[in-house]
Structure 1
Amino acid sequence: MLIDPHLLAVFTVTTIVALVTPGPDMLFVLGCGVRGGARAGLLATVGVITGDALYIAAAAGGLAVLLTAFPVVFTALRIVGGAYLIYLGVQMIRNRKKGQTDDPAAGGMSGRRAFLNGMVSSMANPQTFTFMVAFLPQFIDPAAGPIWLQFLVLGAILIVLEFVADGTVGVLAGRIGGWLRARQAVRRRIDAATGSVFIALGIRLAAER
């Protein structure tokens, strides 16, 4: 068998525990859902797991070794991603009083923007990179079959579990946020709070080692 059933069970349980623990990606999805609705929360989740998938592919293809050997590349990616999140947060706070019309969806976050921002958030998160290159190999047995295929199988399980966990958070946040966004004063506070969360995440990502 490609992956030992016992190892697979341990991997699945450990991954679930890690995913239900609130982290930068989950907080980002939460913010997108509250501000942009269930669709934005779900597409932000798709963006996050797309970033994860790219790291999994890189790890399977050996590119993770290159990033580890030249940490300046990942450091630059992390800083740029963090700066981008800070920029988004500042824009949300500055523009929170614009677009306050009778349309409850005004001032929300588009699905495309939520997706792209989710991917940036994932790829700029050092924890994502560390998880892929340090955690996944613990469950890989070179004697069991192609290493790249084992990476892909474990990565696929991770992506499905993360989609369920973060997607649920995004949809629920969108449902609650939809009711709140119908009230203009509350909507402004949501934009300010979400912007503050994005700024905090950006600072954390840029400063984290």
Structure 2
Amino acid sequence: MSDLISMFMPTWPMLAAFSVAAIILAVTPGPDMALFLSRSLNFGRAHGLASLAGACTGILVHTALVALGISVLIAAAPIAFLVLKIVGALYLIWLAIAAIRSGGNFAMANKATAKRPSYLKSYMTGLGINLLNPKVALFFITFLPQFVTATDPFAALKLCTLGVFFVIITIPVTAGMIFAADWLSETLAKSKWIGRALNYSFAAVFASFAAIILTAQARH
């Protein structure tokens, strides 16, 4: 049983670090949060939850694609995997800078028409906002591999575990926002410092990850 767990589970320190990053990602204002709040405010919480389910499905698809691609890359070209991790660190630095530059800006999605969509449409909209967003794909390609090593023969399995764990963390955090949609949307729109604090937290976490990654690679 312990061998089976070690195949799928990253180390506990790594999992703890990933959890912190996932929580901050979940509460950081972005297009997916705007969609969830907009659906909730305009059509009710059930539509907000449906769009959340679609977005989580998109995350799992991205995770599967990353796990497959990275596992092939590790087997075929360990040096290329090392380059990918370094590029990923630089990308995290870029994300940190972008978060600081954006300040506390948060814009709700456009008001929906009076016609109520189906739950399937809300689900598909949530799926599309993650699955068809190249920035999300690039983020998962560069972020998830930071939590595995090139010499780990079970890296693909651990990547899948991280993707599922990301969804498990995201659901309760984001669902809470959906249930507090009225208060949250008004607060984010009026209080610049809250959005700024979230973005600065986002920047600090990923700048730290980037520094750790680049420092570790420099020692090899």
Q: Does 1:4 align with 2:11?
A: yes
Aligned-residue RMSD, C-alpha: 2.7
Q: 1:63 to 1:115 in 2, by over 3 A?
A: farther
Amino acid at match of 1:29: F
> Do structure 1's residue 52 and structure 2's residue 59 form an aligned pair?
yes
CA distance in 2, matches of 1:165, 1:125: 22
Instruction: After the TM superposition, list the runs of 4 or more consecutive aligned residues in structure 1 that deviate by more than 4 angstroms.
Output: 63-66
Task: Show the counterpart of 1:40.
Answer: 47
User: Does the aligned pair in 1 maintain the 2:55–2:127 contact within 8 Å?
Assistant: yes
Identity of matched residues, %: 27
Q: CA deviation at 1:64?
A: 10
TM-superposed deviation, 1:14: 1.4
The CA distance in 1 between the partners of 2:145 and 2:70, in whole Å, is 14
- The question of whether the paired residues in 2 share the 8 Å contact of 1:29 and 1:45 is answered with yes
The residue aligned with 1:160 is 168
Q: Does 1:115 align with 2:126?
A: no
Structure 1 position 3, deviation (Å): 1.3
Shift of 1:140: 0.7
Name the CA distance, whole Å, in 2 between partners of 1:89 and 1:12: 31
1:162 & 1:19 partners in 2: Cα distance?
Answer: 6
Q: Map residues 31-110 of structure 1 onto 2, 5 A cutoff.
A: 31-62=38-69, 92=112, 95-96=113-114, 107-110=115-118
Contact 2:71/2:155 (8 A) holds in 1: no
State the match for 2:79 in structure 1. Answer: none
CA distance in 1, matches of 2:13, 2:48: 34
Q: Distance in 2 between matches of 1:142 and 1:63?
A: 9
TM-score by length of 1: 0.60
Residues 70, 145 of structure 2: 8 Å contact kept? no
For 1:130 and 1:165, the matched residues in 2 are separated by 23
Map of 1:22 onto structure 2 = 29
- Matched to 1:33, the amino acid is S
Which piece of structure 1 moves more, 41-50 or 155-164? 155-164
Distance 1:25 1:63 in 2: 26
CA change 1:64–1:18 in 2 (3 A) is farther
What corresponds to 1:72 in structure 2?
none
* Counterpart secondary structure, 1:61: helix
In structure 2, C-alpha distance between the alignment counterparts of 1:3 and 1:31, rounded to whole Å: 36
